[in-house]
Amino acid sequence: MKKLNEVIESLHPLERSVLKHLTNNLTATELASLANLKEVEVMRALQWLEQKGVLELNQTKTETIEIGENGKNYLENGFPEKRFLKSITAKPQPMNKIKDLACLDNNEFSISLGLLKRNNCIKLGKEAEITKDGLNLLKDKTQEDFLKQLPKSLDNLTKEQIGIEIELSKRKDIIKTETRKIFTLKLLKFGKEILNSKINLDLIDTLTPEIIKTGTWKNKKFRRYTIDASVGETYAAKRHMVAQARNYIRQVWLDMGFKEMSGPMVESSFWNFDALFTPQDHPAREMQDTFFIEGSKKSPDKKLLSQIKKQHETKWNYKWEEKPSKELVLRTHTTSTTARTLANLKESDFPAKFFSVNRVFRNEALDWSHLFELNQVEGIVVDPNATFQDLIGYLKQYYSKLGYDKIRIRPAYFPYVEPGLEIDAFHPKKKKWVELGGAGILRPEVVIPLLGKDIPVLAWGQGLERGISEYYTITDIRELYKNDLKQLRNSKVWLK
């Protein structure tokens, strides 16, 4: 009895309104009409009552035929083909007049003409003339009667109505099929006990300043609150998971004493390729690997241009041309930013450490490990005393901060570094090593024109998306950008 009274005293106003009209097999829609409430309010009340053991909710899905916007229009103004026929009922009319007489737009006129010709409702010559079949069509109101009966369950259609539904569904937005959820309720034993009890209590649901001032709360009962009632999930506001990882990675390099560098996304081929000792006939500079942009950029100063030209012609043994270096590209790597940064350094700036975390673009086929737009983690260390072991140390430190205990370093070729290396991590799901990025010591052919002297410059470019996928347990990096709301809500916060 105590539990019964406690539940009755905890009933929300919506629950009390709904309880007055509860009977078995009543639908939520019917209940909303009886209680004069919105369907969403009724559903909320029914879910609360179900949690309290008052009733049981059952859900069924049904396909419902509903009237579309064009259907509403045609019910009011008539189907286009019938307006066409009415315009020629009194007498045949030239085709160029019918559209205005019937108030048809170009699309309606074309559809009506095709439909009426196909069904032998008109005879065409210099003028359009209505036929006997056309007169019969004007009298036929089955389609209009069908529309007036909507909405209607697909399962409840007669054989004749199924034929009408098939015909109308071929036309734009006359009818539409919607999947509806129908909730029916079943009263439980406890619910019947509540219905047989007094539930119209004079309870205070909300304590307001007015009630306190007037003292009307005295000698009245407050509605009992159930602290164990289930509530909907709430989601804390947070940045996109890639943005969180970007910010963390930026902080990693800042904590290691690096300064941030930046550069344009639309870059000249000079900085993207030539300054990095990539020959002008290299396959990476062809359309299948690079996104080219219309237009061109001015060349840098003549001294730098001359030094780059000299390195290319001396080492690669071909005639370097200035024109291709002006072509615009979406930068294929942020190493173009490295080249710009080195060109602006003075000897008094050494030693220096720089990084960037920015977007790059590759003409790649999308798959589980490749994107055509991605983020690259770029870094350089300009130091006369820097060594190859220092480079490996920086990379190991970086990947340990990302949570990788085991990485593989192997030799690799890049036109602008010597020696070069690639960093791999083992993918536990794909059972294979996955490349995370490249690195090396910049070649003298790159360093001398940009810095004016040959000193060690450690450099790396790491793929951000591949690097963070393991943390989010993502096996396909395309999932990072599919912007699935459920995935974003449930993704863990980046904490390392």
The CA-atom distances, in angstroms, between 423 and each of 278, 302, 437 are 22, 37, 6
pLDDT value of position 204: 83
The SS3 of residue 457 is: strand
- Paired tokens of 149: 């009966």
pLDDT digits (tens, 9 = 90+) for 9-19: 888 888 888 88
pLDDT value of position 310: 92
Are 68 and 173 in contact by the 8 Å Cβ rule? The answer is yes
| Ranges under pLDDT 50 in the chain | none
The SS3 of residue 493 is: coil
Structural domains in the chain, sorted by start: 242-490 (3.30.930.10)
Biggest distance spanned by C-alpha atoms of the chain: 101
Contacts of 324 (CB under 8 A, 6+ apart): 269, 280, 285
Strands 122-124 and 93-94: unpaired
Are 390 and 397 in contact by the 8 Å Cβ rule? The answer is no
pLDDT value of position 27: 78
pLDDT value of position 1: 56
Q: Within 10 A of 327 (CB to CB), how many other CB atoms are there?
A: 20
The Cα 230–Cα 373 span in angstroms is 43
> What does DSSP assign to residue 284?
G
Are 303 and 297 in contact by the 8 Å Cβ rule? The answer is no
The DSSP element (H or E) to which 446 belongs, if any, is helix 444-451
The Cα 105–Cα 77 span in angstroms is 13
pLDDT value of position 364: 81
**Torsion angles phi and psi, residue 371, rounded to 5:** -125, 155
Are 374 and 465 in contact by the 8 Å Cβ rule? The answer is yes
Whole-model pTM: value is 0.60
DSSP β-bridge partners for residue 330: 266
pLDDT value of position 356: 96
The Cα 264–Cα 339 span in angstroms is 12
Are 391 and 439 in contact by the 8 Å Cβ rule? The answer is yes
Contacts of 392 (CB under 8 A, 6+ apart): 409, 421
Helices (H), 359-443: 388-401
pLDDT value of position 135: 92
The Cα 177–Cα 154 span in angstroms is 8
Q: In a 10 Å sphere around its CB, with 0-12 CB exposed, 13-18 middle and 19+ buried, how is residue 7 labelled?
A: buried
The Cα 454–Cα 444 span in angstroms is 6
CA proximity to 422, closest of 433, 431, 432:
433
The CA-atom distances, in angstroms, between 131 and each of 110, 115, 119 are 19, 14, 10
